[in-house]
Amino acid sequence: MAYFDAASSAPLHPVARQALLACLDEGWADPARLYREGRRARMLLDAARETAAEAVGCRTDELTFTSSGSGAVHTGISGALAGRRRVGRHLIVSAVEHSSVLHSAEVFEAAGGSVTEVPVLRTGAVSVESYADALRPDTALACLQSANHEVGTRQPVADVAEACRAAGVPLLVDAAQSLGWGPVRGDWSLLAASAHKWGGPSGVGLLAVRKGVRFAPQGPVDERESGRAAGFENIPAIVAAAASLRAVRAEAAEESLRLRELTELIRSRVPRLVPDVEVVGDPERRLPGIVTFSCLYVDGETLLHELDRAGFSVSSGSSCTSSTLTPSHVLKAMGVLSEGNVRVSLPAGTTAQDVERFLEVLPQAVAGVREKLGAPVATAAVPRGDSLVVDALGRRCPIPVIELAKVIGDVPVGGTVRVLSDDEAARLDIPAWCEMRGQEYVGEEPADRGTAYLIRRTT
């Protein structure tokens, strides 16, 4: 079985396992106590903090260990907003942030704050100008991930941090995906990360708050971790997290080159092996191990099951894999195809043989899913002169796009197809299909049921 979902959670690094097991016998006592066992636990905790702070690029007294990466994000955002409440009640986030950031923004907005969501380019990156334009005199905090978790695109953190610093606004960076590859460059103010993303144990997060940043921890006051993370420290997990971070950093330069070659192999060969595929994300400014592509006329969940049966664990941002049946907010913000989406994120140690075998299996898996979906119950195509009406009401992704593709050749060049759909994913996937296939997306309009999407045949 080949595990290709390291962006969700990386396999436990051997160094993390060794440190965790050793520390279970040495680091179980209360580090706040003055007796021998407590002092030993304190020494282990302090050493782990020093190691992690060095990797982050901050002082040891600026670093807090939390119970998760999401917890670090929530604590960082709420504390920074509360600390700067006299400045204003305005928060800036990008449209492709991790859900932990967006959920914090929702809570803040529900409590009376205002939130600006900065759009991204089709590559998934924000423009520095857009971020700078969003800054206001009442902006209390700005948030930007260092690299995107779904498509691997790196963000221009250093330039955005410079713009924020010039405006006197602190920048919180979610570095969960990138910290294992190296420190985050730029004059950031707060940083959050999660150990299980780099091969540490789950249940350990990092929050760095630079000196001088106004910060007011929310919730009941706790004497541990400078009052920023309540509860007894999980010292064995913290020690394992710090040890594995140091280990993966030592391997990062060599492993980065190797994984970048493997993901470039996938990026270049998938479009040649599988027709009607869009590889998404920035082709250059990206993390080494992540490559994401979307397949037309494919149900994402079914494709993932087929690949799982073939021995490959991958993930997807397709709407069909979500219980809400709504498209990935990242893919939606990028304006790219969401149906049949596959994210391959290679862990350290992935072999070229595993990648080659994946490339052998993928075309058959996609073809099999397309064959299953290629003959759905007939959907009425009603001619109206030089136009057709496709009734895809009640059909979920990717059926509306499949039916559109079937009939677009039945109208003359300049003719139109009107697709009726009540699936939210169609709002993203039909325009994306038009761009991929060289057809003109005219727009949408309300219908008696659902929405009518108008497409003009141009080729």
Kindly tell me the sign of the dihedral angle through the C-alpha atoms of 307, 313, 314, 317.
positive
Q: Which of 164, 295, 320, 434 is catalytic?
A: 320
**Cα(329)–Cα(151) distance, rounded to whole angstroms?**
12
Q: Is 143 one of the annotated active-site residues of the chain?
A: no
The contacts of residue 187 (CB under 8 Å, 6+ apart) are 158, 161, 162, 165, 171
Rounded alpha-carbon distances, angstroms, from residue 157 to 19, 134, 347: 32, 15, 24
Contact 269, 277 (CB under 8 A): no
Which of the residues are catalytic? 320
